[in-house]
Amino acid sequence: MVQFMLNGEAVALAVPDDVPLLQALRGPAGLSGPRFGCGNELCGSCMVLVGGTPRYACTLAAGAVAGQQVVTVEGLGTPAAPHPLQSAFLAEQAGQCGYCLSGILVSAAALLARDKSPDEAAIRAALEPHLCRCGSHNRIIRAIQRAAEAIQSAMAEAIP
Amino acid sequence: MSHGFGAALPVEDGKPRLPGNLHTNRRLSSWLAIHPDGRVTITPGKVELGQGILTTLGQIAAEELDVDFSRVTARPAATPDSPNEAVTSGSLSTQDSGSALRHVCAAARHIFLGVVAQRVGVPLEAIRIEDGRFFGPAGEIGSYWALADQALLECEAPSEVTIKTPGQRRIAGTSVPRVDLPDKVFGAARYVHDLRLPGMLHARVVRPQARGAMLTELREGPLPGDAKVVRDGSFLAVLAATEWDAEAAATRLAARATWAAEDTLPEQALLTDWLRDAATRGERSTVAARADPAPPVARTLRRSFHRPYLAHGSIAPSCAVARWEDGSIEVFTHSQGPYNLRADLAKALRRPQDSIIVRHREGAGCYGHNGADDVALDAVLAARAVPGVPVRLLWSRAEELGWSPVSPAMLVDIEADLDAAGNLAGWRSHIVSNGHSSRPGRGAEPTLLSAPFLAVPFAVPPSINPPMAAGGGAPRNGVPLYRIPAMEVATTRLLEMPIRTSALRGLGATLNVWSIESLMDEAAGLAGVDPIEYRRRHLDDPRAIAVLDRVAAMAGWADRSRREGFGMGIGLARYKNSGAWAAVVAEVEARERILCRRLWIAGDVGEVVNPDGVANQYEGGALHGVSIALLEQVRFDRRSVTSDNWESYPILRFSEVPQVQVALIDRPEQPFLGAGEASMAPTIAAIAGAITDALGIRPRALPFIPDNLAQAEA
């Protein structure tokens, strides 16, 4: 049994400690967002946030996140209440097959959490662990820039 | 009838000609359903591969019916009810499925309006439609939804329908957002990988240690999670309740298996020698021959070009979910051709086709014949061991990169004759390659990966080439677009296939466009003429000239200035010589290796249904081309493919992606042509030209990595 906070809710998953977190998330936790791509930390499809930091869920033991905050793409937002990144990816039509997007979105969320207005080089660097085979890279970069601007202007409006 | 090449080859069946795949699937009801609750379902046989086709087809349907786009949904293709549109390939879906749906929806509109007109006593021409509601001179008189009677669509399509004119279109021609993307940014269960059926077990395959190796011994012993072993000859798999137990069991079982393996692959370092040698035993054919009066030859250029085997490199390993119950087999698959897959499953299982249902579900991006069909057989074989229980079988990354069909290694020898003015007077080329298709559903033997490993095995037929009428395989784009009076293009298909080959985006165009464009650049240089001007001199096709001129303007070609370490090059092709046009200018920077910094692309796909979707396809294809040009080659030893992870098979990453500008020349009055494959080969050609511009050497072998460039000629 592994207990941790998954997308803001406490979960207790009946998995051995040494099972990869990805399989715990896709298995007993019933999520689809974190995706299997290579199982070897080389493509980023499985990326999730652990304590706000992008981690490869394909190799990270489930037991290693006991008591921690885990956020997957499902935890960023929903169709009814999307994260600015999700809105921006839709606005830029940033994807084709979309299989890489779950991981890219959480890495982008971590980037925007520490850098409010990343330049293009910073975005590319943050996405270097991620492979996209369809060639949506430039749209993805533009979507992250768009989301950063949306967050900035929302904050500006919130300040009286 | 299924020819299975994706294309609607003309069928001479004596029936009135209907557009696209409607000709062979003539009933309206097999394409379209209109529901009382205000929804429309289209049921094309083409499938979503990540290219956005379902959005495009929905736009076409909504347009001709005159309903809001949001009312239209596409049902995933499935046997036996969906139209048999063979394979979703060859950049033909919009032209073959889209033209069929356009005709079907125009016919449906006419039928529904006719019923209402008769009922209300209003002339048909006096009725207008607003989002599915019908209005006569005196107000609303009905709607599709009020009338929704599927019996109205239980008929053959009429041969004549009135299609909207370009000026009447409101939905087709606009950048409607993709219908599949929201699921993908919210992490919804959309892929076949995400199917979870009650009681489903997880399966993994234990692959042989080498190509063609046979399982000689399997030691017994306990397995994690009480996993069940499935064996049929040398096909070996495990089944368990959880993914982790299935993976652990597969690892354990692999250690208990003994294989009889032999060297069956050529030496990679001597691959071109092997191609030449195998060609002496291959099947040679003439692709094109022309002998118009030609000026005297002043000089002949003799050049050879080579490309390695290439992998698909989809981001997800192939996956399928299967169930075998009371002799009925159901399989969920990301195959490109549900009917073709069904045909080969039937052969491999020695079962009738009508005992098998194949249902399409999306996978990760598909760029050709990857492992999707193969894993479907694997899943069915595993499911056969647990009757009634659904089984999800997922390949590993190593299987995906190491055991999927690959795009064949190729070489081409070209002799180009130049006249005294430096113009092309003659062209002789010989293209050597394995066939570019081992797609299922076409031959007497199944082509699925595991079929030759079964206890009663099937032979592995050498891959074939689609006919030139369908674009050809190895010789695809091998006939220059340029005006050349004397020409002979030949190809030799190898009859030995040490590594299983099949279709990957562009097929032979990857090599052929680059080699032709390289000679155009070289000849232009010898003539002292700008490369784009030299191409224009040899072109009669106004649409080819138009994309060249557009891309030259976009890239500032005429005013480009030399920068140390940088270069620019041009590539032009009309895909399959019958599809979409693309002209690409690439800028590269030569450091310790070559980096592509910028791409400008001009395209022409005729009528553009979704401009943003077409731009996305052109850019994606071009970046695929950058990756192939600069990074990709399948590596192997004498027994197996060894480039089975992303370190040994690197692809383009975010840090090295060039900036891209795409412009489309919209021709709303022209038939639509597919966008997915047009830009890739010209991009490779443009990068090669840019390398020459930067370094003064002409690449002769892909990928353009330092080792290969060191062999290049000045």
| Residue B98 in contact with partner chain A when CB distance is under 8 A | no
Mutate to test the interface with A, among B88, B251, B315 (most CBs of A within 10 A): B315
pLDDT at B9: 53
Which of B51, B187, B316 has the CB atom closest to A32's CB atom?
Answer: B187
Question: Quick check: B11 pLDDT over 80?
Answer: no
CA–chain centroid gap for B144, Å, is 36
pLDDT (0 to 100) of residue B3: 37
Residues A40 and A88 in one domain: no
Contacts of B647 in chain A (CB under 8 A): 42
Return the pLDDT at B148.
84
| Best A134, A138, A140, A142 residue to mutate vs chain B (most B CBs within 10 Å) | A134
Q: Do A43 and B315 touch (CB under 8 A)?
A: yes
Cis amide linkage into residue B706, ω under 30° from 0: no
CA pseudo-torsion sign B651, B654, B658, B659: positive
**What average pLDDT does chain A have?**
97
Q: Does B618 touch chain A (CB under 8 A)?
A: no
| Among A37, A42, A96, beta carbon nearest to B50 | A96
Would you call A39 and B396 a contact, using CB atoms and an 8 Å cutoff? yes
- Please report the pLDDT score of residue A160 as a whole number: 63
Cβ of B654 and A124 within 8 Å?
Answer: yes
Say whether both A97 and A54 belong to one domain.
Answer: no
Beta carbons of B50 and A124 less than 8 Å apart? no
Interchain CB contact of B186 with A (< 8 Å): yes
pLDDT for B5 equals 52
Contacts of B569 by beta carbon, 8 Å cutoff, 6+ apart: B521, B531, B585, B586, B588, B685, B686, B687, B688, B689, B690, B691, B692, B693
| Model confidence band, residue A59 (pLDDT cutoffs 50, 70, 90) | very high
Decide: helix, strand or coil at residue B287: strand
Q: What is the per-residue pLDDT for B2?
A: 35
Q: Do A36 and A91 reside in the same domain of the chain?
A: no
Examine the domain organization and report whether A68 and A99 are in the same domain: no
Token readout for B270 is 């001597």
- Residue-averaged pLDDT of chain B: 96
pLDDT digits (tens, 9 = 90+) for B371-419: 999 999 999 999 999 999 999 999 999 999 999 999 999 999 999 999 9
- Write out the CATH class of domain B192-261+313-403: alpha beta
Residue B262 has pLDDT above 70, yes or no: yes
Decide if A79 is inside a domain.
Answer: no
Specify the fold of B20-178. Answer: Aldehyde Oxidoreductase; domain 4 (3.30.365)
Residue A61 is predicted with a pLDDT of 98
> Cβ separation of B645 and A40 shorter than 8 Å?
yes
Are residue A68 and residue A6 in the same domain, yes or no? yes
User: Please, what is the angle between helix B338-349 and helix B372-383, to 10°?
Assistant: 40
pLDDT digits (tens, 9 = 90+) for B268-327: 999 999 999 999 999 999 999 999 999 999 999 999 999 999 999 999 999 999 999 999
Q: Indicate the pairing of strand B328-333 with strand B319-325.
A: antiparallel
Contact yes or no for B512/B475 (Cβ under 8 A): yes
Give the model confidence (pLDDT) of B12-42 as tens digits: 788 899 999 999 999 999 999 999 999 999 9
- Cα nearest neighbour of B196 on chain A: A30
User: How far, rounded to the nearest angstrom, does the alpha carbon of residue B326 sit from its chain's CA centroid?
Assistant: 36
Per-residue pLDDT, B426: 98
Domain ranges for chain B: 20-178, 192-261+313-403, 273-309+406-436+472-709
Give the residue from B591, B588, B592 showing the smallest Cα distance to B658: B588
CA distance B546 to B603: 9
CB contact under 8 A, A96 and B365: yes
Are A15 and B244 within 8 A, CB to CB?
yes
* In a domain? residue A78: no
CA distance B215 to B203: 19
CATH number of the CATH domain containing A24: 3.10.20.30
Same domain, A62 and A91: no
Write the CA distances from B277 to A102, B267, B495, B502, B603, integer angstroms: 47, 13, 12, 21, 39
- Taking the CA atoms of residue B394, residue B398, residue B402 and residue B404 in that order, the dihedral angle to the nearest 10 degrees is 20
* Tokens (6 digits) for B432: 């050597």
List, as ranges, residues 348-367 from B with C-beta within 8 Å of A: 362-367
Distance, in Å, from the CA atom of B546 to the CA atom of B148, rounded to the nearest integer, reads 46
pLDDT range class, residue B8, cuts 50, 70, 90: very low
**Whole-angstrom distance, CA of residue A36 vs CA of residue B244:** 12
Q: Does A66 map to a domain?
A: yes
The per-residue pLDDT for range B68-105, each reduced to its tens digit, is: 999 999 999 999 999 999 898 888 888 899 999 999 99
Q: Which top CATH class is B273-309+406-436+472-709?
A: alpha beta
Backbone dihedral angles phi then psi of residue B480, each to the nearest 5 degrees: -60, 145
pLDDT for position B90: 83
**What's the domain count of chain A?**
2
Q: Which tens digits make up the pLDDT trace of B126-151?
A: 999 999 999 999 999 999 999 988 89
Residues A30 and A59 in one domain: yes
pLDDT at B10: 58
- Check residue B292 and give its pLDDT: 96
The pLDDT confidence band at residue A34, using thresholds 50, 70 and 90, is: very high
Pair (A63, A93) in one structural domain:
no
Task: Please state, in angstroms and rounded to a whole number, the distance separating the CA atoms of residues B501 and B664.
Answer: 33
Contact A133 B242 (CB under 8 A): no
Which chain A residue's Cα is nearest to B189? A32
| pLDDT, position B6 | 52
Rounded to a whole number, what is the distance in Å from the CA of B194 to chain A's nearest CA?
6
Residues A60 and A11 in one domain: yes
Classify residue A97: in a domain, yes or no. Answer: yes
Can you give the residue range of the structural domain that contains A49?
2-73
A29, A49, A73 - which closes a domain: A73
